[in-house]
Amino acid sequence: MTKVHNFSAGPAILPQEVIQSCIDALQNFENTDLSLIEVSHRSKEFVSVMGEACHLVKKIMKLGGDYEVIYLQGGASTQFLMTAMNLLEKKAAFTNTGTWAKKAIKEAKAFGNVDIVGSSEDKNFSYIPKDFDISDDYDYFHCTSNNTISGTQMQTFPECNVPLVCDMSSDIFSRELDFTQFDLIYAGAQKNMGPAGTTLVVIKKGLLGNVTRYIPTMLDYNTHISKDSMFNTPSVFAVYGCMQTLRWIDKQGLATIEKLNTQKADVLYNEIDNNDLFEGTTAVEDRSKMNITFVLKDDSRNEDFLSACADANISGIKGHRSVGGFRASIYNALGLDSVTALVNVIKAFK
């Protein structure tokens, strides 16, 4: 079987051992002689999977009993709505760093006042805004840690005296962080966590219950916390895939994962910076280590480059339709050999 170098932005590459574990479970889950996708989510075997998937998140993030972990459906797009519905009483602060931040801002405006305290829209989201103030009278501050389309990433997070909410969909578990600085984290699973179909939410206890509006049952975080993510039928396959991926992450450790991710990013950025035909699209200090965006200076040759990538079994390199160019998503499970293969194509193209 020919190896394909998968640079897709999501659903994205998974570790081979995770894929094999999922295949095995699809055929015979936990010696039940049933497939994973036909067992009851109330069975003791799957309840154990959900429990481990939640436990591993807290273990890897080094969080204590003051945090809750739940798995939901609807992707990060539903979290744009749920965070505001559950937390926004009067006003909230946001940074606008790209497409996904703009979508979160749009949803929040339905529930209260939204102040954009920092924005990079003036330069097409090519940098992370800094040196902004977050006053103490906000209900919370919301940011997006990594921007898949524009290729920027927050290297640090602001200190503030209000709850810190972060969309970590595209860089969760890719580096060491002090996760206790966050009050609510959400992330679609399909980048670094597992297959598409479930969404992780990590919530600090005591954060909820401060809004006066009625919250529909399915959109109330407390509903899912009280039922251990089992209020409705969870995405059984996706949660199992997350558990297996979290085992893989835990085995390596975030320090090791971050080191490799930095190495991969350095190799690719170095070639882009030193190749006369290409250039990066983001501020150097804000470059993402997950989604590397770049362009050909002569965009009339774009199709030739994409053809060269296809010949080298490189997949998913085309930039987002809203910005064009190229994007190499180098999530945790992508090996350095794949990055080297792309670098070789870039060199040969010159």
Q: Please report, for the chain, how many H helices and E strands are present, in that order.
A: 9, 14
Q: Which of 167, 171, 183, 286 is catalytic?
A: 167
**Torsion sign across C-alpha atoms 151, 155, 159, 165:** positive
Half-sphere exposure of 243 (CA within 13 A, CB side): 22
Is 299 catalytic? The answer is no
Tokens coding 104: 């979160």
Q: Which of 139, 183, 191, 264 is catalytic?
A: 191
Count of other CB atoms within 10 angstroms of residue 204: 17
Q: Which of 100, 183, 220, 286 is catalytic?
A: 100
Count of other CB atoms within 10 angstroms of residue 11: 15
**Strand residues in the chain grouped as ranges (E):** 5-6, 67-72, 91-96, 113-119, 141-144, 146-147, 152-153, 164-167, 184-188, 199-204, 278-280, 291-296, 314-315, 326-329
Is 248 catalytic? The answer is no
Count of other CB atoms within 10 angstroms of residue 161: 11
Is 133 catalytic? The answer is no
What residues act catalytically?
Answer: 100, 167, 191
